[in-house]
Structure 1
Amino acid sequence: MSRRRRALGALLGAALALAGCASIPDSGPVRPGQDSAVALDEPPVRVLPPPPRPGAGPEDVVRGFLLASASPEDDRASARAYLAPETAQDWRPQAGARVYESGTLRIARRGASVTLTAQQVAAIGPDGRYVPEAEPVLLRTRFSVQQVGGEWRIDGLEPGLLHTTFDVERTYRTASVYFLDPSGRTVVPDLLALPVRSSMATALTQRLLEGPSDWLAPAVRTAVPAGTALAVASVPVVGGVAQVDLTEEAFGAGSEERQALSAQIVWTLRQLDEVRSVRISVEGGEYAVPGVAGEQSRDSWPGFDPGALPEDADAAVVRDGVLGRLEGEGWVAVAGEAGTGGARVREPALSLAGDVAAVLSPDRRRLLRGALTPDAPLVPVLTGGDLAEPSWDRYGHLWSVDRADGTVRVAAADGAPVAVAVPSGLRVVGVRVARDGARALLLVRRGQGYALLVGAVVRGGGEVPLRVVGPVVVAPEVVDVRDVAWVDDGRVAVLGVVEGEGRQVRVVDVSGWDAVPTGPVDAVSVAAAPDRPVLVGTPDGQVLRAAGRSWTAAGPGADPAYPG
């Protein structure tokens, strides 16, 4: 089962301090990665910005507008009070947001123009996608002002919002809206930043019905029939039951599509603690879904779990060139050629079912695959000059990178080799495919180190991957990424160097909002999986197991790997 979606924290003392003044907080940045999670449906600290002060100058009016913009109540009515009447009607805050560090803000007036500059660290798109900047970039925007009834008001500004990192922490929540992989058998999370509303169940359902973000859309589909909307603009939760009443377009879904639609809705709403079950109706009437009752438990549709692994999915570890599994406190060689020592192996990957292994030859020139059954041979499926650690996807395709030329290569389930396209200019040195098959992490060379990106996977017939599109940075605070592994459908374990903190593993949201550091560790590889401890391999041939923010010994070995 996937974890409850983590949400952004609220800094209570600082927020309360803001209630009595119209200044931008400058006590230090609140950056993603502070481990300040609260429940998705926990109400925010409400801060009611003061109205425009009589006699305020243009710079103060702009500052007041910035502060008031963080209050989403009544379609940001507090912010509109700082705008000239016609401008207040035309302003489009829903156009997205640019996020900046408050301590870098500079405001200067020249005549009827006020210019704002700051260091932008992220952006939130109109569709809710949060995208951190790899490095802070210059944010520069201009406000024009005029006098209205003897008071300065803003009469010209760009669409969208300008938020400090503190504003985002206080007034947004991170959540997943679930769509379907190309096969329609697995849900895939679209990680979004949503302004806090009185009914997060309504906000999440509306986002689901609108379709996936532009970033994820090439990799997923939806079972929502075109034109389907909420029959009434509300998803009430009464006695733990979320009532989702859809318009008649929902009748256009067939039996299997209704099941998939139900899975999307239930997986999306189960993130809310208050939701214990979901009832789907159409225009107030019955909506039959084969195989389930009218009231669907939050635990319905486990077969759509994007991170599902076998209960006995133990980690694989290589000892002296032999592949084995960590079982309890011991190590047992696997069945098949990989576990006999007849062919020395390194850097294994296990299929999602845990019954097939992929391994590299000692010289990294061959990628081999073999069933974990007695006498099963290892069969070469890819050759190259310097192959990177392999990664399975849920369709049985096996990914790697030939670091000799930077190509992403796949051994398809039918054995055919496939080259996967990535955007030009990327020097890819590693790849890790999410267990849902719709997203891939790319480890890329950047300067003298390595950075981490995540992109959407576009597939063709037979779910064979064709290209990875739209890669965006993950964990920009890690300046030299050395290895990475998917923890679950929304988090990854990143091994690298954090400036001022040394080498460590950080478990970070793929969206870039939240991070939990471990203690310092001298490691060269990392492994992770849902509901299992993070493992690392050390340079001196030991495997360590995460225990909170410390590490315990798991025994000798190298290259730990969980299924997937």
Structure 2
Amino acid sequence: MVGDREGSARPGPMRAAAYAACGAVLLAGCASMPDSGDLRDVESTPRQDTQVRVFAMPPQQDASSTEIVQGFLEALTSDDPRYDTARKYLSPAAAKIWRPDSQATVLANGPSIQTDPRPAGRDGADSITYTLQGSRAATVDAQQAYTPAAGTYQRTVHLTKDAKSGQWRIDSLPQGVVMGKSDFQRNYTSVNKYYFASGTSAGETGQPVAVADPVFVRSRVDPTTQLVRSLINGPTTWLGPVVRSSFPTGTALKKGVSGLTPDDQNRVTVPLNVKASRIGSVKCTEMATELLFTLRNLTPTVESVALQSVGGGRMCDVTEEEAEATAWRPSVKRPDYLYFLDGKRRLVRMTAGGTGTGAVAVPGPFGAGTKPLQSVAVARDERTAAGVSSDGRSLYVTSLASDGSLGDAVLTSHGATENDRLTAPSWDARGDLWVADRNAADPQLYMLAQGVGQPMAVQIPELNGRIEDVRVAADGVRIALVVEKDGKQSLLVGRIERSRSDDQQEVSVLELRSATPGSEEVTAMSWAGDSRLVVVGREQGGVQQTRYVQVDGSTPDGPAPAALTGVLAIAASENDRVPLVARSKDDGIVRLPSGAQWQKVVKDGSAPIYPG
């Protein structure tokens, strides 16, 4: 398999023959080295069917130093579980210390290979150095966490010719693997693993909240076992401070276990080592719940998970229904209603996912039009709503019951203009309310505990710019912010940390990271899954687009939403069975049912939202 390298020529006869053989067999892909020793880049790998296994070719006898480097880079993108073929391109000493799983570097177009201009090395004519170059796109670390990256990639590989065999081998190289974006997309897949929110975080039913932690696993190299090991090893560094793992320290798969797959009853049995042998039934159920949520994200047909002791005994068995009774997961909850503001700035609603176009006013003051509204948020239990007045100055919280009263504003902005006042509010599953004040003289993100407490200033030490939009995740431990700086908007995701000092709760948003690297404008965004957002915006020099992004900055598999022009606002539910809804400049409120095109709902409407 080639290394996704730029500027290549057509494959030579040897490679063409190898591809032909692959096509005839149809059981596995294969890769070969180029038949020429000329120094040139190697062609980009075409995307292939996910069921096709791709294996690299070992080095040929008397291969040139260039062919060794090219063949090694090809081997990095194969489906060889332990990179055994890639190691054959290395000297015995280098093969022992090379750690391919320590990091994956993703380049925009793959590495180009250039001869180092420096003089020959310590072995004279029997030594040569090559430089691998490219434009960074991302890295995946040893925890399998994805991080967007930028800048130039430049690393060297050194080769020597063995004095006895006369064969070139790589004896010095960077740790990890490197490949182009298309090879990375073929080789790796993003999967959520699940942990429980730490502290007192609880969902609507009072259960612990399951929090998604996205990682990348090699998609055709026993991904189930990879994912289980990753889950047991604990959360990624970024998410770790706000979640807890139910697996005791030192827990691991039983030695020698691999090839975990569902049986004919769609159950996955997970054998554990002795560290998990003394857990109680509650802890065992929590462990199995984390495993089931995680494995269903990879293989939706999995129906139950059984934990097995080191001696082979059954520890516990958890079904989907039992897991959902143990922990609350946002993407399982289906909202009752879609909400938006009508032409009179009243809050109205219609059945979520319904086919009709009729909307009715909600019970209570927001539906009665007591206070014209600019934006609104409905709590996830759909019993309470928060609304910002039409001038952006005041935030109100009221019941969605017919006898509810408006009461006084719970927060007031003193910004000079409407655009310098309050953003749209947002609720998490704990029942806490979030909103930002854009007042240029005192910009601030606030949280109101249970929507009624004293507004609490949230500390964001890394914030560089002004918050223009706020959407807190249902899990209450992550928050998405649209931040403007020098006329450009970025979508940043931060980790929410809560602590107590002198009996006072303190809330901070830490380690902001970009979910849309390269964006110049973010018009609207909404959570659209446990670790996914839908974003309306454009990149530099581009046009407005609506697309899905992962919280780690990667692009999820699957198609983007159907094109829609002039999008002013967008609303999604964590439950992907609920239609995407938007406000279009030309068509008003529109929705996107699954497998269909955008459909008009009402012409005169604004601020569409689902609960949250």
Task: Provide the secondary structure at the position in 1 that maps to 2:82.
Answer: helix
Offset, 1:429: 2.3
Match of 1:322 among 342, 346, 352: 346
Offset, 1:48: 2.0
In structure 2, relative to structure 1, the CA distance for the partners of 1:101 and 1:504 (3 Å cut) is closer
The residue that corresponds to 1:220 in the other structure is 243
CA distance in 2, matches of 1:517, 1:144: 47
Aligned pairs for 1:227-376 (under 5 A) are: 227-232=250-255, 233-234=257-258, 235-239=260-264, 240-271=266-297, 272-273=299-300, 275-284=302-311, 286=313, 294=317, 296-303=318-325, 304-307=327-330, 311=334, 313-319=336-342, 320-327=344-351, 328-376=356-404
Correspondence 1:505 to 2:546: yes
Task: Provide the secondary structure at the position in 1 that maps to 2:496.
Answer: strand
Query: Is 2:111–2:179's contact at 8 Å kept on the other side of the alignment?
Result: no
How many residue pairs were aligned? 535
CA distance in 2, matches of 1:342, 1:196: 55
CA distance in 2, matches of 1:28, 1:431: 40
Aligned pairs for 1:2-41 (under 5 A) are: 19-22=31-34, 26-27=43-44
In structure 2, relative to structure 1, the CA distance for the partners of 1:214 and 1:370 (3 Å cut) is same
Offset, 1:247: 2.6
- Give the AA of the match of 1:545: R
- Give the AA of the match of 2:580: V
Query: Is 2:30–2:57's contact at 8 Å kept on the other side of the alignment?
Result: no
Root mean square deviation, CA, Å: 2.9
Offset, 1:310: 5.9
Match of 2:422 among 366, 387, 390: 387
The residue that corresponds to 1:488 in the other structure is 529
Query: Is 2:110–2:179's contact at 8 Å kept on the other side of the alignment?
Result: no
Offset, 1:25: 5.1
Correspondence 1:91 to 2:93: no
Give me the TM-score of the superposition, normalised by structure 2. Answer: 0.81
What are the Cα deviations for residues 92-149 of structure 1, in whole angstroms up to 9, with x where unaligned?
Answer: 111111100226735233333211210111111110111223xx42111112222223
CA distance in 2, matches of 1:496, 1:262: 40
152-161 or 16-25, larger mean C-alpha shift = 16-25
The residue that corresponds to 1:8 in the other structure is none
Query: Is 2:589–2:608's contact at 8 Å kept on the other side of the alignment?
Result: yes
Offset, 1:356: 0.8
Which 5+ residue runs of structure 1 have no aligned equivalent? 1-12, 31-35
Offset, 1:21: 3.8
Query: Is 1:24–1:102's contact at 8 Å kept on the other side of the alignment?
Result: no
In structure 2, relative to structure 1, the CA distance for the partners of 1:464 and 1:145 (3 Å cut) is farther
Offset, 1:415: 0.3
In structure 2, relative to structure 1, the CA distance for the partners of 1:116 and 1:201 (3 Å cut) is closer
Give me the TM-score of the superposition, normalised by structure 1. Answer: 0.87
319-328 or 86-95, larger mean C-alpha shift = 319-328
Query: Is 2:582–2:589's contact at 8 Å kept on the other side of the alignment?
Result: yes
CA distance in 1, matches of 2:463, 2:491: 14
Match of 1:407 among 444, 447, 456: 444
Task: Provide the secondary structure at the position in 1 that maps to 2:66.
Answer: helix
Query: Is 2:519–2:539's contact at 8 Å kept on the other side of the alignment?
Result: yes
CA distance in 1, matches of 2:53, 2:285: 39
In structure 2, relative to structure 1, the CA distance for the partners of 1:254 and 1:458 (3 Å cut) is farther
The residue that corresponds to 1:203 in the other structure is 226
Larger radius of gyration: 2
Offset, 1:317: 0.5
Which 5+ residue runs of structure 2 have no aligned equivalent? 1-18, 24-28, 35-39, 121-127, 202-206, 416-420
In structure 2, relative to structure 1, the CA distance for the partners of 1:255 and 1:419 (3 Å cut) is farther
In structure 2, relative to structure 1, the CA distance for the partners of 1:165 and 1:355 (3 Å cut) is same
CA distance in 1, matches of 2:485, 2:176: 32
Match of 1:528 among 564, 572, 575: 572
Task: Provide the secondary structure at the position in 1 that maps to 2:409.
Answer: strand
Bigger relative contact order, structure 1 or 2 (CA pairs below 8 A, ≥6 apart)? 1
